[in-house]
Amino acid sequence: MKKCYLAVTYDVCEHNDLFMDMNEYHLTTLDNLDNYVKYLAKRDIAPVVRVFTSDTSDFIETRIYKEYKFKEYECGCVN
């Protein structure tokens, strides 16, 4: 059975208790996953990117495959 993968970028601000999804990207391959996720984080200025996997293309039942964190895109607001 073929696995399906979905990358989701998130906007995060701990000060304002924010963890909000921004964009979803369907992945056709996991080749160069780390580099592609870095590109998505930079594109969306996202401090967190999660990659989910599913057994079906409708992504009704998903499992987290991997989570990436990017300090350079973390919120810069002051308490």
* Tens-place pLDDT, residues 17-54: 889 999 999 998 899 999 999 999 999 999 999 999 99
To the nearest whole number, what is the mean pLDDT of the chain? 92
Pairing verdict, β 18-27 and 4-13: antiparallel
Q: Are strands 4-13 and 48-54 parallel, antiparallel or unpaired?
A: antiparallel
For the cut 80, the answer to whether the pLDDT of residue 79 exceeds it is: no
Distance of CA 67 to the CA centre of its chain: 7
Q: And the tokens for 48?
A: 């967190």
Average pLDDT over residues 53-76: 91
Which residue is listed with tokens 């990358």? 7
More confident residue, 73 or 60: 73
What 8-state DSSP symbol labels residue 32?
T
pTM of the model: 0.90
